[in-house]
Amino acid sequence: MTFSPTPYCYTGGRKTESGRPTILFIHGAGHDHSVWTLQSRHFASHGWNVLAPDLPGHGRSPGPQLESIEALADWVLDFAASVGIEHVALAGHSMGSLVALEAAARAPARVTHLLLIGSVAPMPVAPPLLDATLSNRDRAHAMINQWSYAPRAQLGASSIPGINLTALNERLMQRQAAGVLHKDMAACNAYVGGFEAAARVACPSLLLSAALDRMTPPKAITPLAAAFTSTATVRKLVIPGAGHAMMSEAPGAVLDALWNFVGAFPSFGQEPQ
């Protein structure tokens, strides 16, 4: 299968090689591959193939934008196949976690690990936010920043000196085309198949939450965790001190959680390097 036009995909600066385990990172609503910079570079430098695509209509990938979680899940699986990857670990954040979950359910024999970051199911979007994504983008961005970051980040604290995390996130959302954020949020709001999908997942699964997440709070993960079958290994982990935007607020802790989990369940008979 080929994609025309070709979507953009970040690989951590390394060529995809056969015989190596592969991880595919799926960004959330109104974002692109850049939210995974630290995690993707580390995996790429330590024995893994990395695929971090911009979803259709996001970032540097052409449209049309896909408007449902189910369609995005099919796209992710098709994209991996198009670059010659049959077996893949899926890591998704927020909306991307729903895409990863649905993809793992649709192709259980192909997904080696499922890494859900900032996830709940269902994932309803507050009506004022959903309305603002259509009528007032600046207001929507401000609401997302308010709900996505812990108080320290709101006051300017950052894991990277000199970087204003909320300003950086606002600029990232501003770079997306008009309507992208609304369609993403609407897709999250409309997706009702999370529990059924979890019951069909066959691979080891990590549900990673952040203690100060107000978008997908840790206590809300319990129904989704319970929906996985008894044969699937499921672990829950909560990162202290961070909010929904945990990849930027606590990048090292997120990386450690992902790396340690895939190391506990190596694919292709290989230990991570």
Among residues 52, 60, 41, 34, which one has the least CA distance to residue 248? Answer: 34
Q: How far is C-alpha 32 from the geometric centre of its chain's CA atoms?
A: 10
DSSP 204: -
Q: Is there a domain that residue 135 lies in?
A: no
Helix, strand, coil share of the chain (percent; to 5): 45, 15, 40
The closest alpha carbon to 36, from 47, 46, 24, belongs to: 24
pTM: 0.94
Residue 128 lies in a domain: no
**Is 164 a member of any domain?**
no
Query: What band does 40 get if pLDDT is binned at 50, 70 and 90?
Result: very high
Residues of the domain holding 105? 9-123+188-264
Residue 4 — pLDDT band, cuts 50, 70, 90? low
Q: How confident is the model at residue 1 (pLDDT cuts 50, 70, 90)?
A: low
In a domain, residue 229? The reply is yes
Q: Is 155 part of any domain?
A: no
C-alpha angle with apex 153: 149 to 156, nearest 5 degrees?
Answer: 145
Beta strand extents in the chain (DSSP E only): 9-10, 22-26, 49-53, 88-93, 111-117, 205-210, 234-239
Give the confidence band of 3 by pLDDT, cuts at 50, 70, 90: low
> Which CATH number do you get for residue 259?
3.40.50.1820
* Per-residue pLDDT tens over the stretch 142-197: 999 999 999 888 887 787 777 899 999 999 999 999 999 999 999 999 999 999 99
Q: Is the pLDDT reported for residue 253 higher than 90?
A: yes
Q: What is the pLDDT of residue 231?
A: 66
Structure tokens at 132: 């603002």
Say which residue the tokens 């909320």 belong to. 166
**At what angle are helices 37-45 and 251-264 packed, to 10 degrees?**
40
How does pLDDT run across 44-102, given as a tens digit for each residue? 999 999 999 999 999 999 989 999 999 999 999 999 999 999 999 999 999 999 999 99
Confirm whether 80 is domain-assigned. Answer: yes
Pairwise pLDDT comparison (239 vs 5), residue with the higher score: 239
Nearest-angstrom CA–CA distance, 143 and 242: 17
* Total domain count, the chain: 1
**Any domain includes 172:** no
pLDDT, position 271: 38
Q: What is the pLDDT of residues 194-238, one digit of tens each?
A: 999 999 999 999 999 999 999 999 999 999 999 998 666 899 999
Before 272, cis peptide (omega within 30)? no
Q: What is the 3-state secondary structure (H, E, C) of 184-195?
A: HHHHHHHCCCHH
Alpha helices, H only, 107-164: 127-135, 137-148, 151-154
Asked whether residue 31 is domain-assigned, the answer is yes
